[in-house]
Chain A
């Protein structure tokens, strides 16, 4: 059997300790060991972006990240996007504009979008497209997703003022 590794992860602000095989991916740990099933999988090979999570605020594909490599970094998943019961502006915008159809790509889209708005509060359409280009969606044609990012960015800027 594979040797287990003792890990201490900081996920959505909570410290979680667990023993996992060394080769276990962050995706597997999140979904199966920590029951954070909001993070999705669509290919397990880094092709679709459904498993996007934030590590220290930067988007990473959880399916290609070893859980061990997330140690010492702040992991953020879709479950940690809202502030208590108050939704992130991106989540509200996705709801209002119908940017989630089947919803399977939505967690990854939200995290890629949140990282974008964190580093660039006023992205151009081209910059938003670039930031979301690694997240595939088969339902929406991306139209309402791009609209929702723009709406959230606008509201976040207004909120700052």
Chain B
């Protein structure tokens, strides 16, 4: 069936506002009597706060309030299992950049001067800057009430008989990898504006998760959530950076209550680097058994995550480093051991791909090495192991639609990979990799049975339709997706549909823009709500006008019996008929994923109602004299179920490729002597227009049975294969293996020199930290080999 709106390359809802400067971001907001808030941050990575005295700052004219840790003593955190943060440090600081005090003053300059007057006396403790240091005997304990050895989370799971799988293998290979940390660096610096009116607190914030922010504000400020309104103005990019509740948000709320005046806090770029929650540095070991034909018999994967100072999403991140390896290849037996440790650095968290780009890098580089060892083409090795659509993985993940095989063939064909691989002149190479990603986490962050997304549709007497949803458009276009689905179902032009989003007073629940969940979950809720509205209007029209309900359609702004567009009535008339007959024209829809978790602890991470699949080829050149790498061209095929709007889809794919190339080649969140090496956009290198290569996006549609109009995620999955494809292309170009990212010229030169001396030509970890894991929990694989034949759309 063809669609009128779905699948069309339409401009986004907010495109006009964004190209004219009319879009209002949080820092663009201003209220009468507004104060400026500023935060004092620790210059020490690890220290006890011996004394803190706000009095001199309070004495400065124009200063209205000063807060320290004692004013906000309640702990919070995004995950119920990790309530380990304070809005302002209480007794000790755990990373350089951690907030210790806050000021509200008449203007920014006074607030900044006041920060300098707050007296803080620290007693330094030895900083712990890596997992190896954190785990070492006698290491200082960062959280005194935590597990010994600075251990945050441990996971050990075994699915099927791994040792039997290795025993049956003809070849076994083991490799070690390291993925360095990097950060989101969204262009908009975090900002918040809070206002208190004696009974209710309103907080406008650049957050991806208004609902979770409302919960954290409620907990820390001890106000019922019903008294807190969170609104997200236009948001200037997230990528996961704005999905934790942050100190500045809690502090602004408290300052507004204390002073009785609105308070705005806008972070500097340096402070944004300290907020972080970016990519975990992960050390990995992967060992895989193969038959001589290249079929996987067993896989064993270990990961050690450097978590930074607090929990954040880390409990989930740890499991994500082990969850999705099985979603691209059939792995009959699989063991995963994961460990996250605390260090004295800004907390790591979720960045685009959350916990899965690191293992994907390891796995795809490892498979290229295996292919070489087995004398197989790297694409052929993957072909032999690809997962099947409608199957279940050994770790109990349900796969529905899957266009991975088509992605592989199309990207190989378009790039000429088989013609180029191993055949380009020295200094030029192609690399290949695949991946899969979730379309929303199957389970919510806090355990509950309620819908993860709800949408309300209201029809105005003039025929205008308004869609209400808490889904937060962070630039990815979620508001446009909701409008597209609604307009399609109600047979209207997109411009007839207004979208109201991300406001806890006005809109029904959506858990937030994270884990690539919005198109699938809020989209399904919007479809349900719009279909109910359609049924309400058509039912009333059929009854009142004596028309056949089952033949009625809504198309082009008219209601008519199929095949008779000349008859019938306009949408406006239909609305009046329905309103007179049925009363208020409101409808709601909700979405909750099916029960997907497997029968074991830790099964909450990995399940998703659907997975996107991706295959990528990167062509690059490398100057063997300098080690400089230039990405030349990228081909990428992405199975996203249904392309709801090809402009937005391509934009997400291109943006993913860009961010992946940055991570692969230059982006590095690095520390020296306990402090960030360069918390600025000059020191934190990213690709500019000059380095960005052409991208050939290939959209593969598989029409997922449970997705809205068949759609799955787009926006995160496409990042994953590009990073290993760069490493694999470099190996093809100059014959060296850089088993860690970022792949910088110094590492390439080191490997090239080693190769010249007859060595293996590799830079990468030689060991990963030793840790005594408990015996893995043994989990039986799901019964039967598949294919999966469970219920689809309810």
Partner of A94, one of B15, B475, B656: B15
CB-based contact B692/A48 at 8 Å: no
A140 vs B189: C-alpha distance when bound (angstroms): 18
- Asked if B334 is at the interface of the complex by the 8 Å CB criterion, the answer is no
Q: Hey, which chain B residues are within 8 Å of A79, CB to CB? A: 20-21
Determine the main DSSP class of A at the interface with B: loop
Q: Hey, which chain B residues are within 8 Å of A135, CB to CB? A: 689
Binds B, one of A54-62, A67-75, A96-104: A96-104
CB-based contact B268/A101 at 8 Å: no
Partner of B681, one of A48, A87, A95, A97: A48
CB-based contact B655/A140 at 8 Å: yes
Q: Which residue of B lies closest to A100 (CB)?
A: B18
Minimum C-beta distance from B583 to chain A (A): 39
Partner of B476, one of A42, A82, A101: A101
CB-based contact A139/B651 at 8 Å: yes
- Asked if A38 is at the interface of the complex by the 8 Å CB criterion, the answer is yes
- Asked if B633 is at the interface of the complex by the 8 Å CB criterion, the answer is no
- Asked if B12 is at the interface of the complex by the 8 Å CB criterion, the answer is yes
CB-based contact A48/B22 at 8 Å: no
Binds A, one of B232-240, B282-290, B460-468, B610-618: B232-240
- Asked if B188 is at the interface of the complex by the 8 Å CB criterion, the answer is yes
Given contacts A42-B187, A42-B189, A45-B682, contact A91 B19 (CB under 8 A): yes
Q: Hey, which chain A residues are within 8 Å of B17, CB to CB? A: 103
- Asked if A105 is at the interface of the complex by the 8 Å CB criterion, the answer is yes
Given contacts A44-B269, A87-B19, contact A130 B680 (CB under 8 A): no
Partner of A102, one of B20, B235, B656, B659: B235
By CB atoms of chain A within 10 A, which of B21, B28, B695 has the most?
A: B21
CB-based contact B189/A143 at 8 Å: no
- Asked if B688 is at the interface of the complex by the 8 Å CB criterion, the answer is yes
Q: Hey, which chain B residues are within 8 Å of A42, CB to CB? A: 187-189, 269, 681
CB-based contact B269/A140 at 8 Å: no
A142 vs B682: C-alpha distance when bound (angstroms): 19
Minimum C-beta distance from A14 to chain B (A): 15
- Asked if B74 is at the interface of the complex by the 8 Å CB criterion, the answer is no
Minimum C-beta distance from B700 to chain A (A): 19
Q: Hey, which chain B residues are within 8 Å of A39, CB to CB? A: 21
By CB atoms of chain B within 10 A, which of A36, A40, A101 has the most?
A: A101
Q: Which residue of B lies closest to A137 (CB)?
A: B187
Q: Hey, which chain A residues are within 8 Å of B185, CB to CB? A: 138
Interface string of B683-719 (1 = CB under 8 A from A): 0001111101011000000000000000000000000
Minimum C-beta distance from B242 to chain A (A): 11
- Asked if B4 is at the interface of the complex by the 8 Å CB criterion, the answer is no
Minimum C-beta distance from A36 to chain B (A): 7
Minimum C-beta distance from B57 to chain A (A): 18
- Asked if A11 is at the interface of the complex by the 8 Å CB criterion, the answer is no
Q: Hey, which chain B residues are within 8 Å of A142, CB to CB? A: 658, 688-689, 692
Interface string of A78-99 (1 = CB under 8 A from B): 1101100001000110111110
CB-based contact B647/A97 at 8 Å: yes
Minimum C-beta distance from B160 to chain A (A): 40
- Asked if B657 is at the interface of the complex by the 8 Å CB criterion, the answer is yes
CB-based contact B681/A102 at 8 Å: no
By CB atoms of chain A within 10 A, which of B9, B20, B651 has the most?
A: B20
Partner of A129, one of B28, B235, B236, B689: B689
Minimum C-beta distance from B19 to chain A (A): 4
- Asked if A77 is at the interface of the complex by the 8 Å CB criterion, the answer is yes
Given contacts A43-B681, A104-B237, A142-B692, contact A98 B648 (CB under 8 A): yes
CB-based contact B25/A104 at 8 Å: yes
Determine the main DSSP class of B at the interface with A: loop
Minimum C-beta distance from B271 to chain A (A): 11
A94 vs B12: C-alpha distance when bound (angstroms): 11
- Asked if A117 is at the interface of the complex by the 8 Å CB criterion, the answer is no
Q: Which of B650-683 contact A (CB under 8 A)?
A: 650-651, 654-659, 680-682
Q: Hey, which chain B residues are within 8 Å of A96, CB to CB? A: 11
Q: Hey, which chain A residues are within 8 Å of B19, CB to CB? A: 78, 87, 91-92, 94-95, 100, 103, 106, 110
Partner of A105, one of B187, B474, B692: B187
- Asked if A133 is at the interface of the complex by the 8 Å CB criterion, the answer is yes
CB-based contact B21/A78 at 8 Å: yes
Interface string of A105-147 (1 = CB under 8 A from B): 1110010000000000000000011101111111111111110
Partner of A36, one of B21, B690, B695: B21
Given contacts A95-B11, A96-B11, A138-B186, contact A130 B20 (CB under 8 A): no
Interface string of A17-53 (1 = CB under 8 A from B): 0000000000000010001111111111101101000
CB-based contact A130/B658 at 8 Å: no
Q: Hey, which chain B residues are within 8 Å of A130, CB to CB? A: 689-690
Q: Which of B1-60 contact A (CB under 8 A)?
A: 9, 11-12, 14-25, 27-28, 30
Minimum C-beta distance from A147 to chain B (A): 10
Given contacts A42-B681, A48-B187, A101-B476, contact A138 B15 (CB under 8 A): no
- Asked if B184 is at the interface of the complex by the 8 Å CB criterion, the answer is yes
- Asked if B278 is at the interface of the complex by the 8 Å CB criterion, the answer is no
- Asked if B477 is at the interface of the complex by the 8 Å CB criterion, the answer is yes
A42 vs B477: C-alpha distance when bound (angstroms): 21
CB-based contact A144/B654 at 8 Å: yes
By CB atoms of chain A within 10 A, which of B187, B650, B658 has the most?
A: B187
Minimum C-beta distance from B63 to chain A (A): 15
A102 vs B241: C-alpha distance when bound (angstroms): 14
By CB atoms of chain B within 10 A, which of A39, A78, A92, A139 has the most?
A: A139
Given contacts A38-B20, A106-B19, A141-B695, contact A98 B28 (CB under 8 A): no
Minimum C-beta distance from A113 to chain B (A): 11
Minimum C-beta distance from A62 to chain B (A): 13
A65 vs B24: C-alpha distance when bound (angstroms): 23
Q: Which residue of B lies closest to A48 (CB)?
A: B681
Q: Hey, which chain B residues are within 8 Å of A48, CB to CB? A: 187, 269, 681
Q: Which of B457-495 contact A (CB under 8 A)?
A: 474-477
A146 vs B651: C-alpha distance when bound (angstroms): 12
A44 vs B268: C-alpha distance when bound (angstroms): 8
A128 vs B690: C-alpha distance when bound (angstroms): 10
Minimum C-beta distance from A90 to chain B (A): 8
A31 vs B24: C-alpha distance when bound (angstroms): 12
Given contacts A98-B12, A101-B476, contact A138 B239 (CB under 8 A): yes
A43 vs B23: C-alpha distance when bound (angstroms): 19
CB-based contact B655/A101 at 8 Å: yes
A135 vs B687: C-alpha distance when bound (angstroms): 11
Partner of A47, one of B235, B657, B681: B681
Q: Which of A143-158 contact B (CB under 8 A)?
A: 143-146
Interface string of B231-261 (1 = CB under 8 A from A): 0001111110000000000000000000000
CB-based contact B657/A106 at 8 Å: no
A129 vs B691: C-alpha distance when bound (angstroms): 9
A102 vs B475: C-alpha distance when bound (angstroms): 4
CB-based contact A77/B476 at 8 Å: no
Q: Which residue of B lies closest to A102 (CB)?
A: B475
Q: Which residue of B lies closest to A105 (CB)?
A: B187
By CB atoms of chain A within 10 A, which of B237, B474, B659 has the most?
A: B237
Given contacts A44-B269, A47-B269, A79-B20, contact A138 B689 (CB under 8 A): no
Extra contacts, 17 of them, besides A31-B28, A37-B24, A42-B681 (Cβ < 8 A), are A38-B20, A41-B27, A42-B269, A48-B187, A95-B15, A98-B651, A100-B18, A102-B186, A103-B18, A103-B236, A104-B187, A106-B19, A130-B689, A138-B185, A138-B655, A139-B655, A141-B687
CB within 8 Å of B: which residues of A?
31, 35-45, 47-48, 50, 77-79, 81-82, 87, 91-92, 94-98, 100-107, 110, 128-130, 132-146
22 residue pairs bridging A and B, Cβ less than 8 Å apart: A37-B28, A41-B189, A45-B682, A47-B682, A50-B187, A79-B21, A81-B21, A94-B19, A100-B12, A101-B477, A102-B186, A103-B18, A104-B188, A110-B19, A132-B689, A138-B655, A139-B187, A139-B651, A140-B654, A141-B657, A141-B692, A143-B658
Q: Top 3 A-B pairs ranked by shortest CB distance?
A: A38-B21, A102-B475, A141-B658
